[in-house]
Each structure stands twice: as structure tokens, then as C-alpha cells.
Amino acid sequence: MPTPLPRSLRPTDVIRWTVGTAASVPRRVLDLLGAAESVVARAGELVDRTERVIDDAEGAVAEARRVTAAAEEQIAAARPMIEFLEEFSAHEVQAAIRLVDELPRLSQHLNEDILPILGALRQVGPDLHELLAVTKDVRQAIQGIPGFDFLRRRGEGKDADDRGTD
């Protein structure tokens, strides 16, 4: 910084001051250029950091959009289930919980007790058909006995009398 101009001016003072000021100009210009370069460098760093922040923010926004879309899909998929569950009363929910608690025991009884019986019923079917065929044969044989119609009418009459006395 040049020295201030003295109050009482002599020509040598003016020349000295002018020369001093002129001599300090290049140094001041260099200082100014250095400061400007420093500002430009810091501005460049700031721009780089800002670009990284913007890139990160754009990535975060894209990820947030993906997460939001996935959440919306899950909500849309769960909506019918939620609507279904809204129809249940607290009592029905408790009953369903108790039923779920009983599933292991129910499964055990189904596997150990009911399924074997159902398997046995497959074997009973043909035996039952055979029993019905034999019963039909016996009925036909009994009806072929002479006097059977008389005995049957007499038995029907007794059944009617017994019902009337009750």
C-alpha cells in the first residue's frame, strides 16, 4: 500500500510518492491476481463439491422413488387383505388366534386318527356292496317261502296295534 501523500508538497515528495506508487502497482496487481486465483480455485472446489452433492441428492431421490414405488405396490397388494381383515370383530380375531394355536394338535389327530379311518373306508365300500347283495338274496329267498305274505301282513297288523296302544 503506498504511503499517503504528505500535506506539504514539494516536487521531490510528489515524484517520490508517484514513483513509490507506480513501483507498488505490479506487486499489488500480482497480489490481486493471486487473490483472484485463490478465489477461483475455491470457487472451483465449491462447484465440484456442489456437483457431488447434487449427484448424491439425485441418487437419493431416485432411490426414494424406487422405494416409494415398491411401497405403493405392497400397499396395493395388501389392500384386499386389509379390507378383508376390517370385517372381523375382535371376538373373531381371538377365535382365529385360538384356532391357529390348536393347529398342531388338530394336525396330529387328523394324521393319526381320521386319515387312517378314511383309508379303511375305502376297504369297507366293496364289503358293504357285497353285504347288500347278500341281503337282497336273503330277502328274495325269504319271500319265496310259502306263507310268507301271510306272516308279513300279520306282523304289520301287530305293529299297527302296538302303535295304537302307546
Residues 125-164 pLDDT 10s? 777 888 888 889 888 888 778 877 777 777 777 766 667 6
Q: In sequence order, which residues have a C-beta less than 8 Å from that of residue 20 and are 6 or more positions away?
A: 2, 3
Q: In sequence order, which residues have a C-beta less than 8 Å from that of residue 2 and are 6 or more positions away?
A: 17, 20, 21, 24
**Per-residue pLDDT tens over the stretch 6-35:** 566 777 777 777 777 887 888 888 888 999
In this predicted structure, what is the pLDDT of residue 130?
86
Percentage of the chain exceeding pLDDT 90: 39
Q: Ramachandran region of residue 147, left (φ > 0), alpha (ψ -120 to 50) or beta?
A: left
**Per-residue pLDDT tens over the stretch 147-158:** 777 777 777 777
Q: 108 to each of 100, 103, 113, 115, how far by Cα in Å?
A: 14, 8, 8, 10
Residue 140 main-chain phi, psi, to 5 deg:
-65, -40
Sign of CA dihedral 51, 57, 63, 65: negative
Asked whether residue 89 carries a pLDDT value surpassing 70, the answer given is: yes
Q: Angle 41-60-79 (CA atoms, 0-180°, nearest 5)? A: 170
Q: In sequence order, which residues have a C-beta less than 8 Å from that of residue 139 and are 6 or more positions away?
A: none
20 contacts 3 by C-beta, under 8 angstroms: yes
**Per-residue pLDDT tens over the stretch 52-82:** 999 999 999 999 999 999 999 999 999 998 8
CA distance 152 to 141: 14
Q: Angle 156-159-165 (CA atoms, 0-180°, nearest 5)? A: 145
Strands (E), 29-78: none
